[in-house]
Structure 1
Amino acid sequence: MLKVTDLVVSYGGIEALKGISFEVEQGQIVTLIGANGAGKSTTLRTISGLVPPKDGRIYFEGRDITDLNTQKIVETGIAMVPEGRRVFANLTVLENLRIGAYLRKDKDAIEEDINYVYDLFPRLKERSWQLAGTLSGGEQQMLAVGRAVMTRPKLIMMDEPSLGLAPLVVKDIFKIIQTLKDTGMTVLLIEQNANAALHACDYAYVMETGRITTSGTGEELLASEAIQEAYLGKTSKS
């Protein structure tokens, strides 16, 4: 579904991505794991059209989307749940969801999708008229996911969805990611909680300083001693 080839991104004179290539198969959960500064967020921002690449190409469903602007990329069927949630704090839950559908004209289907999001996240329905800025961190993350779902994406990209959340809420978020997959969506996930991400994903890529150094199924990487040592805290070097 998504193919990234030889992607290079520079900030000033610093190369944040040094020619990475990877693929995301339709219907899978694919995760990028790595330490802070590895280039994970830059990868998602580049796919989204927020950061221009210096070199390399991005293909979505066989179409070259490298040079499209962000709105056009959303129209192709890619949505992003940004790091830090970034809900519109002074708008209600319902208003935030409607903003997610701003490119759509199908009013009846929009109402159906709002109800679908409420089915996914009953707490959002209870708080539909509450200002988003007054929600808990977990509820804001649910709202950020719901807002992305309102674009009717084929591929949903998530940047650190568990960041700063309590362990029980993190479990809920990963259940929702699995539910999205079960409903036919493809998920590209960036997550510092490598253990949770590898348990949830079909395939994973490990990023280090702008390069992809390892890849494999979630099970394969969970079983790797090198990955356990570097990311899962299984040795004294954690």
Structure 2
Amino acid sequence: ARPTVLNAIFFEYNEQAATLVQQKWISAGGSIANVLVGLPILRVLRRERLPASWRYFLWLFAAVNLLTAFGYLLYSGIGGIGDWTHVVQGLGSPWLLRGGMAIVGAVLYFIVAPRLLMPPLDPFLGTDPAARAARARILCLIPYLAGGVSFVVAGILNPYGLRVVLISAVAAAFGGTSLLAWYPGIPRTPAEGTPAVPLVIERSWAWIAAGAVVLTFFVVLLGPGLRLD
């Protein structure tokens, strides 16, 4: 099936040229890609010594990918909309399948994701309880809000109207990654080996410039969408 449009919040292809099985794989492809990106990054963070800025960037990138994938499964199960609803369509009882997706998604999102994501974050939080909570809010809540606003702004430029923004951009950005807004600040015992003095991320104009370039590309080009046909 030939891809036709790449947009910030959706992907289009020639459905008439794709078999039903291919359509289901394409629908599942986004979440699968998120997991295939996120998990290897976490493995790299456990094994490689990297500068603090790179460690934080890779951790946040992995977190967004995994939370988006796990949250999408939960979202499709509860709401009955989205790519995973199309994946399971025709495979059995809709209510049973939705319930199964919701349960699996909830386990992945609220149990598996924190166990995967919180230990690599601990070096940035240190061991002091009060400081950990404050640093967690800075390192997780701010990018959550910035990412959500950026995603919605890009989504508003899509050619299909606000409904797509609500069910895709708002749901994915503010819903899918919402664990970043509240979970890291919950008091918990630091992972073994967490340094007492947290890693410090120095201000870098190179990182700021790179972020500005990526944001411009994401909003200005992918917001309206790129024609691929």
TM-score w.r.t. length of structure 1: 0.26
> Which of structures 1 and 2 has the bigger CA Rg?
2
Task: Determine which structure has the larger helix proportion and give its number.
Answer: 2
Task: Determine which structure has the larger strand proportion and give its number.
Answer: 1
TM-score w.r.t. length of structure 2: 0.27
